[in-house]
């Protein structure tokens, strides 16, 4: 059964301190980093894909190894992975979201939530 945007939404919002906010009219999932700042983890552009903002190394590995994944670009810069929800495995998408969270979360937030990122 293919993933849906609601599946991605549930997985993203299950991570500590993640909130949903619109980003130029599309859903985005952001980690609250301070009372006035957020760090974007993922977006749902509405075309059957999710954009998850993992580091370039992880994105390139996913493109090479994970079905339904390609690089997500912002100009000439790789910003993460573009995931085809009809093809990708739920566990892969959850892992990308967790990687994005771990990349953006403060040391304090990671310490307070040691269960995130553990098998």
Entry field: residues in the chain:
119
The answer to whether 112 touches 16, Cβ cutoff 8 Å, is yes
Query: Which of the four pLDDT bands, split at 50, 70 and 90, describes residue 33?
Result: confident
Residue 62, pLDDT above cutoff 90: yes
Domain for residue 117, yes or no? no
pLDDT at 47: 93
SS3 70: strand
Domain for residue 19, yes or no? yes
Looking at the 3D structure of the chain, how many domains does it have? 1
Q: Tell me the per-residue pLDDT of 17-31, one tens digit each, with 9 for 90 and over.
A: 999 999 999 999 999
**Residue 71 CB coordination number (10 Å):** 14
Domain of 103, in residue numbers: 5-110
Domain for residue 115, yes or no? no
pLDDT at 2: 85
CATH number at residue 30: 3.90.1150.30
pLDDT at 119: 60
Mean pLDDT of 28-41: 82
Domain for residue 119, yes or no? no
Q: Tell me the per-residue pLDDT of 65-117, one tens digit each, with 9 for 90 and over.
A: 999 999 999 999 999 999 999 999 999 999 999 999 999 999 999 999 999 98
Q: Which is more confident, 95 or 34?
A: 95
The torsion region of residue 44 among left (phi > 0), alpha (psi -120 to 50) and beta comes to beta
| pTM, full prediction | 0.93
Domain for residue 116, yes or no? no
Query: Which of the four pLDDT bands, split at 50, 70 and 90, describes residue 37?
Result: low
pLDDT at 60: 97
Domain for residue 96, yes or no? yes
**Residue 41 CB coordination number (10 Å):** 26
């Amino acid at each position: 059964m293919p993933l849906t945007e609601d599946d991605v939404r549930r997985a993203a919002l299950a991570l500590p301190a993640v909130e949903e906010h619109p980003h130029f009219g599309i859903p985005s999932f952001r980690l609250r980093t301070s009372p006035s700042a957020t760090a974007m983890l993922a977006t749902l552009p509405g075309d059957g894909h999710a954009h998850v903002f993992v580091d370039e190394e992880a994105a390139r590995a996913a493109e090479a190894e994970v079905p339904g994944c390609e690089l997500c670009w912002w100009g000439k810069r790789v910003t993460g992975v573009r995931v085809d929800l009809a093809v990708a495995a739920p566990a892969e998408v959850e892992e990308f979201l967790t990687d994005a969270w771990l990349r953006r979360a403060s040391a304090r937030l990671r310490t307070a939530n040691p269960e995130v990122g553990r098998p």
